[in-house]
Amino acid sequence: MANRIKTAGLTILDTRISYFEVGAGRPVVLLHGNPGTKNDFQALAETFGSDQVRFLAIDRPGHGNSDELLPETPDPWYDAIAYADFLKRVAGGKAYVVGYSLGAFCALKLALQSPDLVAGLGLVAPFVAPRDPHESPSSLPAYSRNPLLGTLMGLLLPTLAGGKIRQHLINVWSPATIPEAVLAEEHKRYTHFEALISTMRDKNDMLHLRGEVSKRLGEIRCPTLAILGGKDAVCDPAAQATVLAGIPGVQKVDLPEGGHGLPFTHTQEVGEALLAHLQAIPT
């Protein structure tokens, strides 16, 4: 029988953060992709939560039911401060951190900024390098702050981005086929103006910091596992592996038939790999 999910929330950095938890053992904090929500981990958490493992899945700021972080000055590291506070207040001060897709980049930021809080890292279909190495940040999130431009963008952007979001969702599930009901529901959710701006903002932060984070990967000392899908249609698994090779002692699990949506399409394999890695780390 599936474990029961309990949903809760708290205020961090004057921002309401939503999360769910399953299980009662060692804390495992889950950071979803971009776009995404905590529910991307529902099957994984319900399947593997137990009296030995406690899963805590966060709606990252600006996504799902969490509000957007609003630092006084732009700071692409600011979300890592929020995650560190979450680990202290909810996860007991130290946790194994799982990042899926761009959430893996967030997990690396957290491990670099607050190494004493991260017992280990599990990076699932990590997105730590763009397909186009010359891709530059979008100016649209900054423009959206302007009252007039923001209003116009709110009217136009959901329609203009609809086709791109639809194709992205199809690519996430590839080579599997995304269920039509899931495609319709997630397309509606992720084409909301606020969701689009949060998605672009997070991508911008990654593009701004990817060089710095890549250069600092040698500072990471916690056990790290990367799980890669051989048929990933969103990001090049070889390029991600090349970046992650900078982490001392990084372990790699290859799922040759897997794509980018490993938490959805390969839940069992991902959960077993993460638990084996976690259990090898002393408490």
Domain 6-135+206-279, what fold? Rossmann fold (3.40.50)
Amino acid at 140: L
C-beta of residue 121 within 8 angstroms of C-beta of residue 222: yes
The pLDDT score that the predictor gives to residue 1 is 40
H helix intervals, the chain: 42-48, 78-89, 102-113, 140-143, 147-160, 162-173, 180-190, 193-216, 237-244, 262-265, 267-279
Entry field: residues in the chain: 283
Between CA 99 and CA 172 the distance in angstroms is 16
Q: Which residue has the tokens 């690396």?
A: 108
Residue 58 C-alpha from the chain's centroid:
9
Between CA 186 and CA 100 the distance in angstroms is 17
Instruction: Give residue limits of the domains in the chain.
Output: 6-135+206-279
C-beta of residue 82 within 8 angstroms of C-beta of residue 58: no
The secondary structure element, H or E, covering residue 132 is none
Q: Please, what are the averages of pLDDT over each run of 10 residues along the chain (283 residues)?
A: 82 97 96 97 94 96 96 92 97 96 98 98 97 92 92 94 97 97 97 96 96 97 97 95 97 97 97 97 90
C-beta of residue 19 within 8 angstroms of C-beta of residue 57: yes
Helix axis angle for 147-160 and 162-173, nearest 10°, is 50
The pLDDT score that the predictor gives to residue 228 is 98
DSSP track, 145-172:
TSHHHHHHHHHHHHHHTHHHHHHHHHHH
**Greatest extent of the chain over all pairs of C-alpha atoms, in Å:** 55
C-beta of residue 201 within 8 angstroms of C-beta of residue 140: no
Question: How many C-beta neighbours within 10 Å does residue 14 have?
Answer: 8
The pLDDT score that the predictor gives to residue 133 is 87
The pLDDT score that the predictor gives to residue 151 is 94
Beta bridge partners of 158: none
Three-state SS at 32: coil
Q: Name the pTM for this structure.
A: 0.96
C-beta of residue 55 within 8 angstroms of C-beta of residue 22: yes
Conformational region of residue 31, where left means phi above 0, alpha means psi within -120 to 50, and beta covers everything else: beta
